Amino acid sequence: MKINNMLVTLACAAAFTGSVQAADLKSVVEGDHRTESFAARDQYRNPQATLQFIGIKPDMTVVEIAPGGGWYTEILAPYLKDEGTLYAAHFPADSESSYYQRSLKAFKEKLAADKDSYGKVELTEFDPASGRPIAPAGSADAVVTFRNVHNWMNGGYDQKAFDSFFAALKPGGVLGVVEHRAKPGTSREDMIQSGYVTQDYVIELAKNAGFELEASSDVNANPKDTAKHPKGVWTLPPSLRLGDQDKDKYLAIGESDRMTLRFRKPKS
């Protein structure tokens, strides 16, 4: 299903002059508050159309899973700050991983640096192996995750992750998943090694947790991507794991081919 990239601009939309003011989604995506290198990825990540497809509205309670450096947080936080709530389920504070600690520290600094945009973000923990909740049970209208499922497979807690999403959502709540897309029939081992996951496997995880598949979109599809690269998905931008080797070739492909799926928690 192709998604129309145009959204209706609200009459009350405000111009951006640094910190984010109350605005519609289109204005947030185009706002001057966004990190320049992040905004440069919009051509591949299509945030406006992606969030529109998932059904994110400004009055929702949304949980963003593993926000990393805050690529989507820069859009979700200002969009939800006046009427909604954003839970950012980041790495656990007590993790022994130095990478996790550095990432969490940088994210906290990002939030603190712009209280106007991010002051209402509620920081929680994403640690499905421990069973900690990502948000109060049954409180969220939506849970969103972007390019993370392969990491959970590698950690062996992919099903627990989806179970935690189901627990956090209200009956009727929505789960939006964007993930690098492997060719059908790819083995689990190859999925973990390459970073590409089959769409059927993601659907299976969601259904096992209790979700119903509602719709899929090609908004983040990339037919140039074969999903077969020397360093897996990290061969492509923005990682470019091979450095200058065949760099122009991989830049011409762009970011990965991705599935974009919307699931629903049954109302009863």
CA distance 115 to 19: 9
Residue holding tokens 């990502």? 134
Which of 20, 85, 6, 121 lies closest to 52, judged by CA?
6
pLDDT at 11: 29
Asked if residue 3 is part of any domain, the answer here is no
Going by pLDDT thresholds of 50, 70 and 90, the confidence category of residue 9 is very low
Asked if residue 223 is part of any domain, the answer here is yes
Asked if residue 97 is part of any domain, the answer here is yes
Cα–Cα distances in angstroms (integers) from residue 260 to residues 50, 108, 192, 216, in the given order: 8, 28, 19, 6
Asked if residue 13 is part of any domain, the answer here is no
- CATH number of the domain enclosing 150: 3.40.50.150
Which of 176, 180, 185 lies closest to 216, judged by CA?
176
**Domain extent at residue 70:** 25-264
Cα–Cα distances in angstroms (integers) from residue 181 to residues 102, 218, 238, in the given order: 29, 11, 17
Please give the distance of CA 191 from its chain centroid, rounded to a whole number.
19
Bridge partners for 176 per DSSP: 144, 262
Is the bond preceding residue 78 a cis peptide, omega within 30 degrees?
no
Considering its fold, how many domains does the chain have in total?
Answer: 1
Asked if residue 16 is part of any domain, the answer here is no
Asked if residue 30 is part of any domain, the answer here is yes
Q: What is the pLDDT of residues 175-215, one digit of tens each?
A: 999 999 999 999 999 999 999 999 999 999 999 999 999 99
Q: What is the pLDDT of residues 75-105, one digit of tens each?
A: 999 999 999 999 999 999 999 999 999 999 9
pLDDT at 236: 98
Beta strands 85-90 and 61-65: pairing type? parallel
- Mean residue pLDDT of the chain comes to 92
